[in-house]
A and B are shown apart, each in its own frame.
Chain A
Amino acid sequence: MKKNLGILCLFLVVFIATAFANPDFVNAYNLENLIRRASLYGIIGIGVSLVIITSGIDLSIGSMIGLVGTMLPYLLVTHGASLFTGLLAVAALSACIGLFHGLLITRLKLQPFVVTLCGLLIYRGCARWMTGDSVQGFKGNYDSLRYLAIGKIPLGDLPGIGEFNLPVPFLLMVGLAIVAAIFLNKTIYGRYLLALGRNEQAARYSGINTDRMVVLAYVLCSLIAGFGGILFALDSNSIQPDNFGSFYELYAIAAAVLGGCSLRGGQGSIFGVVIGAAILPLLRNSINLLGMPTTLEFAIIGVVILAGVIVDEVVKRMAAKRRAALAARQASGS
């Protein structure tokens, strides 16, 4: 928990500052939207953090969301596939993509950056070609499925906020986060990922099937990205094959890094990633509500993230120095 303190503070500062500056911020409608976006980003952030922990990266997430997001309505609406077939098909597609990445990285020893960069291009091209580059949507059907993305659970009249409804994606995200946190911290597989992310050779020499674990991480990442893609598609209902999900891989990676994952691998906390993922839509929202020029949006987000990472690094260095000094004292004392 201590290591997530920085990111939590950053989140609270932006949140409280915006709330004071513009009373519209804390109204129910705005918060519901914010939570829904944050939850969707959180889901894909959790996925990519599993890969980043192995010291890998997945740049193809945005295009995967584009591909899955267009394929689902394309199969259901254009081809009249059953709901079961449609969902199974996109899930299988996602898993295969992850497997493909993982095998290229472990068997052929290709660099994750290169493999998934090519994936980014390939899946985007596939999505556009398959659908003839035409906008996809659910045409007012599949309301029960869309409930997953746009559904709300009424919580009644909350003080200072009003009639508040909890978006369903928030529950999905929390559920996924709990499962992921248990996987990472309480199972031997999570331990394997953390160990091999720090030192692949030492893990292998300790009898860990490192290749298989890396493949597993990519499969999980792609599956979760596919799940995210379904939710994003259900949420928007108007899916442009040429740009749906563009840049989302960067949001996911930024969330993971803000949440304490090192791109060098071996560390990460699911709770941190969830907060990290919430910061991005929060900043956007703040920029809007505070009347800053929206053209500056990216610049402001970039500066805030950079500042956060710098502060984090400085704090970490100070802590490391203290620890080393303490260790030296203890060593000389004993």
Chain B
Amino acid sequence: MTESPQHPLLEVRDVTKGFPGVIALSHVNLTLGHSEVLALIGENGAGKSTLMKILAGVQEPDSGQLLIDGKPVRIDSVQSAFDHGVALIHQELNLSDNLDVGANIFLGREPKKNGLIDKTKIREDSRDLLARVGLNVSPDTIVERLPIGQQQLVEIARALSVNARVLIMDEPTSSLSAHEAETLFKVVKDLRSKGVSVIYISHRLGEVKELADRVTVFRDGENAGDLNRDEINHDRMVQLMVGRDVSQFYVRKPHTPGNVALEVKDLVTPANPGHKLNFAIRSGEIVGVAGLVGAGRTETLQVLFGVEPAVSGTIEVGGKSVQIKSPIDAIQAGLALVPEDRKLQGLVLEMAVRTNVGLAGLKRNQKKFGFLNSDQEGTDTTEMISKLRIKTPNEQQMVQYLSGGNQQKVVLGKWLSLHPKVLLLDEPTRGIDVGAKQEIYRLMEELAEQGMAILFVSSEMEEILGMSDHTLVMHEGRITGKLSREELSEEAVMQLATGNVAEAAV
């Protein structure tokens, strides 16, 4: 802060970029100051990723200018982006996890001695870089053995090794636990104080509020607005992103819970064999499962759905004890699971919307001798497309060409066509835009009203606070607390999620 430089560190002026059939960016502007954290937000398809690719040298703009320190520059390759001090950290990490930390930091730029890799220098330089990101591991550690949060810090260290002044982070916390995210925030703030500027892309408005000095919002490839530090609040951001006033983001009505739909007694999961789980959900009730990543939430859903066998314990659906050894049994009992990773576990990406919607019902709807029931599949698909408002040109469109939100709706459609009694949702809104999120919340609300029991795992505090009638909080494989609507607060959840059981009202 000793001298205020005349020019901003990075300026994007009037940049336009089109792809065949679509304008991704239309005359957008963006300014990044020195030692500043700028949050870039917008719905999926708003053009954030395209701009990031342009800044990182992966793509070139059709028109417009990039300026660094007030001077126009041309960034036409990843190398030239590095040369100008711009580095991009992808949402999916780009590390060779079979190599050690040092090798990853210097991958492609290995210092050499007598024509061989200079391991000593790599080790020494890596130590300095790791210290700068506050990561206390040996450069010789194989990356695979590090938790995901630490792997990300390795990636940041790599960016620093090319003397990056502008660090672009694309959804950096999407796969981090709350604790790891905290560490990352500290590192980001620390880097800022040392003169590195950060462009921070995120769907999580809570962390944007915490970190950002300024917010730039994109909508449909254009600038939608900028917010200064004192203007940053949740409603303003959502409003700019979706272009309309969102007074009521979470539509919650009081529910009248019915009978117990799912009851779990002394359930022991293979992931956490030391703990017994006990809980119940009534029909018409939305129960949130909060906790840090690795608390055993996903594993619990997977055992309920039969993906992993239970070690012991009983599961009752609608008051009757059921044996669930595979998803087949679970579906039979009236359960459905929208899994955490929709691309890997939820969808066959290279198949049509229709085929995906029909996939779980093939057996139930089959005709004599196992022939496909095409009519039923068609009816279900048409119904789901209109009911869930799936945006697709037609039912034969391959799912991979749909946006994240619409893909998630296809997964939901697959299950809703079976009319399950209990719906298990694992991070139902991960990586989807605000508009689709809201639609999914509304749908959950609607289904609960119709008497479905919903159990959802979420790492987004706002979602837990906004949606659940009851909240289960897990920590290291056990349920550390059950919070009613009245007891529910961010504070209470965090206490329980970090294992601080004494504070909890169980």
List, in ascending order, chain B residues with CB within 8 A of A236's CB.
Answer: none
Interface residues of A (CB under 8 A from B): 186-189, 191-192, 194-195, 198-199, 201-209, 266, 321, 323-332, 334
Give the number of chain B interface residues (Cβ < 8 Å): 40
**Nearest CB of A to B374, in Å:** 9
Q: Which residue of B lies closest to A330 (CB)?
A: B393
Q: Which of B23, B348, B350, B371 lies at the interface centre, i.e. has the most chain A CB atoms within 10 A of its CB?
A: B348
A209 to B326, CA, bound (A): 9
A332-B23 contact, Cβ under 8 Å, with A205-B346, A206-B414: yes
Q: A198-B351, A331-B22 are in contact. List 18 more A-B contacts (CB 8 A).
A: A187-B371, A191-B362, A192-B362, A199-B348, A203-B359, A204-B327, A205-B339, A205-B346, A207-B330, A207-B360, A208-B328, A209-B328, A266-B348, A266-B350, A323-B401, A325-B19, A328-B20, A332-B23
- Report whether A331 and B403 are in contact in the complex, using a CB–CB cutoff of 8 Å: yes
CB contact between B348 and one of A187, A195, A323, A327 (< 8 Å): that residue: A195
CA A202 to CA B339, docked complex, whole Å? 9
Q: How far is the CA of A176 from the CA of B145 in the complex (A)?
A: 51
Q: Is the CB of A324 within 8 A of B401?
A: yes
Instruction: Let me know if A332 and B350 touch, CB within 8 A.
Output: no
A and B contact pairs by CB, cutoff 8 A, 7 listed = A187-B372, A191-B359, A195-B355, A199-B347, A203-B359, A205-B305, A207-B363
* Binary contact track B1-42/A, C-beta < 8 Å → 1, others 0: 000000000000000000111110000000000000000000
- List which B322-366 residues lie within 8 A (CB) of chain A: 326-328, 330-331, 337, 339, 344-351, 355, 359-360, 362-363, 366
- Residues from chain B with a CB closer than 8 A to the CB of A329 are 21-22
Contacts of B348 in A (CB 8 A): 195, 198-199, 202-203, 266
Taken together as a complex, chains A and B put the C-alpha atoms of A205 and B349 apart, in Å, by 14
Inter-subunit contact A199/B349 (CB<8 Å): yes
User: From A327, which residue of chain B is reached at the shortest CB distance?
Assistant: B401
- Binary interface profile of B, 41-54, with partner A (CB < 8 Å = 1, else 0)? 00001000000000
- Shortest A202–chain B CB gap in Å is 5
Report how many A-B pairs have Cβ atoms within 8 Å. 96
B279 smallest CB distance to A (angstroms)? 23
Residues of B within 8 A of A (CB): 19-23, 45, 305, 307, 326-328, 330-331, 337, 339, 344-351, 355, 359-360, 362-363, 366, 369-372, 391, 393, 397-398, 401, 403, 414
From B328, B345, B350, B370, A188 is in contact (CB under 8 Å) with: B370
Partner of A202, one of B45, B345, B363: B345
A324 to B19, CA, bound (A): 10
| CB closest chain-A residue, reference B401 | A327
Contact A195 B351 (CB under 8 A): yes
With contacts A328-B22, A332-B22 known, is A201 near B350, CB below 8 A?
no
Interchain nearest-CB distance for A33 vs B (Å)? 38
Residue of B nearest to A205 (CB): B345
Q: Which residues of B sit under 8 angstroms from A192, Cβ to Cβ?
A: 362
The answer to whether A327 and B397 have CB atoms under 8 Å apart is yes
Residues in A whose Cβ lies below 8 Å from that of B344: 199, 201-202
